[in-house]
Amino acid sequence: MRAPVRVVALCLLVACAPAPKREVAAPYELGATEYSLPKDQPGHKSTRDLVQIADGLKEVQQRLMLTDAAERDATYQKWSGLLLDARALDQSAYTEEQRVVVLAVLGELYREGSAFGVHGAAELADQTLSECLRKSPGSVPCNMSLVELDLTSKLSEDRVARIQRSLAALRQELGPEPSEFVEAELVHLRMLQRDGPRTQSAIDAYLEDFPHGQFAEQFRRARTKLDEGGTTPPEPEP
């Protein structure tokens, strides 16, 4: 299973430096939580603006795979500070447009928290990103984050339908040119559904548009296994 991390979409809303290449990694098992959500601090004022929080998200992204306990604790402390600042900004967001931007940042923060075992973060990510999309159904960062949250959760019919809705919205918002994010995540969805024919079709579409893309070699290996007679696609590589 994979736990991709993506904050580059936030840069569509707040100006920030280029994000590092997205990694694909094994998530922590459901229930294997290690940390708690930071407690609200009444009167807390953010020491960062949204640009600085988005940059901080990228630093957390790079550290999610660390296994050293001390470094993981340091990452959690960094993440907690970003979350408290984003919550403070959320309370001062006066317009609907500002609110959508803050929800996008908060939703990605909660999603990242769920990736390294913060108890309750996945549920808050779901709630926050769903609220964002109720206010702005075409939001690129909120749709991207929700797709990745659902792909790293136990798949259900409802989650599959929601992933497909978000991918359709992203196609519309990012078009008319194909989006590597959309096409890659569709392949990952078909792999997780264990659907051989539709995985082959999705891989072919991705490779046609992105022959040198981030996942091109991984998908070629999966396609080869299917061509060699496999009927069930492999799961996304760690």
**Of all helices (H) and strands (E), which one includes residue 232?**
none
Question: What is d(CA 158, CA 160) in angstroms, rounded to the nearest whole number?
Answer: 5
pLDDT of residue 163: 97
Question: Among residues 89, 173, 174, which one has the least CA distance to residue 137?
Answer: 173
3-state SS, residue 118: strand
Write the pLDDT tens digit of every residue in 126-140. Answer: 999 999 999 999 999
pLDDT of residue 237: 63
pLDDT of residue 122: 93
The burial of 172, by beta-carbon neighbours within 10 Å (0-12 exposed, 13-18 middle, 19 or more buried), is given as exposed
- CA-angle at 107, arms to 163 and 46, nearest 5°: 165
Instruction: Quickly state the pLDDT bin for 238 (edges 50, 70, 90).
Output: low
Question: What is d(CA 107, CA 142) in angstroms, rounded to the nearest whole number?
Answer: 7
Q: Which of 59-63, 106-110, 228-232 has the lowest mean pLDDT?
A: 228-232
Q: How many CB atoms lie within 10 A of CB 17?
A: 10
Residue 235 has pLDDT above 80, yes or no: no
Question: What is d(CA 169, CA 109) in angstroms, rounded to the nearest whole number?
Answer: 22
Average per-residue pLDDT for the chain: 81
3-state SS, residue 190: helix
Q: Phi-psi category of 120—alpha, beta or left, where left has phi over 0 and alpha has psi -120 to 50?
A: left
User: Where in the chain are the domains?
Assistant: 8-173, 177-238
pLDDT of residue 1: 37
Write the pLDDT tens digit of every residue in 47-56. Answer: 677 778 888 8
Higher pLDDT, 95 or 1: 95
Tokens, residue 223 = 């396609």
Write the pLDDT tens digit of every residue in 193-225. Answer: 999 999 999 999 999 999 999 999 999 999 998
Question: What is d(CA 76, CA 87) in angstroms, rounded to the nearest whole number?
Answer: 16
